[in-house]
């Protein structure tokens, strides 16, 4: 449906970065994101959500924030899952637009301008895709992960989201009221939270646009392909069950989680 939400907030863009044991990868991401936003967005914020890391992620972010304006750290002690961390950041964000961005920097921050253009043309949510064919985009992914990802997305399309080729790319742009509506209702804390979020959006008739982006696999992934793939399939089934029970038809008032 056409967007019903005018841009009305003081911050142009919030970038939410979920992080778990990212002390070795978070700094280059923060540096590139901050430098780009500083040149392209008059007012922005970067929110790093430390999802119970056992390393020095919080210290790295805190030190960076001392010398760079617009950086916030939200941290809690117990690891609760990427979905929970993203939900925390989304509900805490203040920008007109809110970008979900992985800590490893696999999606170049420059691609946000292409997502933003699609949003200005009427989308409520714009999701980056590694599977959507576009000869001008370059995707550098490991073969086995591509195979597993394609298999998972085929199941997701069959059960819940026909037409969306890549639900799992960690680079998604939301209008703030849309994000608040969806994330206040979401329940999945694990890696399949993307599926739930997009399914809620579909149930509520928000316009989702998928565009191809450049993407590069970065070493150091926390995903165990076999174990986490099984968990994700279970979570997808849980989304289907929540749908049948009517949970996603219920409106929930947005409120910060931490």
**What is the distance, to the nearest Å, from the Cα of residue 151 to the centroid of all Cα atoms in its chain?**
21
Could you report the per-residue pLDDT of 173-188, keeping only the tens digit for each? Answer: 999 999 999 999 999 9
* Span 70-83, average pLDDT: 97
Residue 2 has what pLDDT?
Answer: 40
CA torsion sign for 192, 196, 202, 205 is negative
Banded model confidence at residue 58, pLDDT cuts 50, 70, 90: very high
CA separation for the pair 14, 47 (Å, rounded): 7
Name the pTM for this structure. 0.86
Where exactly are the structural domains of the chain?
Answer: 11-248
End-to-end CA separation in angstroms for the chain: 32
Q: pLDDT digits over 19-53, tens only?
A: 999 999 999 999 999 999 999 999 999 999 999 99
- DSSP letters, 148-185, are HHHHHHHHHHHHT-TT-S-S--SEEEEEHHHHHHHHTT
Secondary structure class of 214 (helix, strand, coil):
coil
The third-level CATH classification (topology) of the domain covering 11-248 is Spore Coat Polysaccharide Biosynthesis Protein SpsA; Chain A (3.90.550)
Give the integer Cα–Cα distance in Å for 209 and 41.
22
Return the pLDDT at 149. Answer: 63
pLDDT higher than 90, residue 209: yes
pLDDT tens track for 92-132: 999 999 999 999 988 999 999 999 999 999 999 999 987 65
* 11-19 and 44-51 strand pairing: parallel
Alpha helices in the chain (DSSP H): 26-40, 57-67, 82-92, 112-120, 143-159, 176-183, 193-203, 225-245
C-beta separation of 65 from 46 below 8 A: no
Task: Give the 3-state secondary structure of residue 200.
Answer: helix
């Amino acid at each position: 449906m056409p967007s019903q939400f005018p841009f009305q907030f003081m911050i142009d863009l919030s970038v939410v970065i979920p992080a778990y044991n990212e002390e070795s990868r978070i700094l280059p991401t923060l540096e590139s994101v901050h430098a780009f936003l500083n040149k392209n967005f008059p007012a922005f914020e970067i929110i790093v959500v430390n999802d119970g890391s056992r390393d020095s992620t919080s210290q790295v972010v805190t030190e960076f924030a001392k010398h760079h304006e617009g950086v916030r750290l939200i941290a809690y002690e117990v690891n609760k899952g990427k979905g929970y961390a993203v939900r925390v950041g989304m509900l805490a964000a203040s920008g007109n637009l809110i970008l979900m961005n992985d800590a490893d920097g696999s999606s170049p921050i420059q691609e946000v301008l292409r997502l933003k253009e699609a949003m200005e043309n009427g989308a409520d949510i714009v999701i980056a895709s590694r599977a959507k064919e576009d000869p001008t985009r370059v995707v550098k992914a490991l073969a086995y992960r591509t195979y597993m990802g394609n298999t998972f997305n085929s199941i997701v399309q069959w059960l819940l989201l026909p037409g969306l080729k890549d639900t799992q790319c960690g680079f998604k742009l939301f209008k703030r009221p849309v994000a608040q509506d969806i994330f206040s209702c979401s329940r999945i804390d694990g890696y399949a939270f993307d599926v739930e979020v997009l399914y809620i959006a579909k149930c509520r008739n928000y316009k989702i646009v998928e565009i191809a982006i450049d993407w590069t696999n970065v070493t150091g992934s926390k995903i165990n392909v076999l174990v986490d793939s099984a968990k994700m399939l279970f979570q997808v089934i849980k989304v289907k069950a929540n749908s049948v029970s009517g949970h996603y038809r219920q409106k929930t008032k947005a409120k910060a989680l931490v």
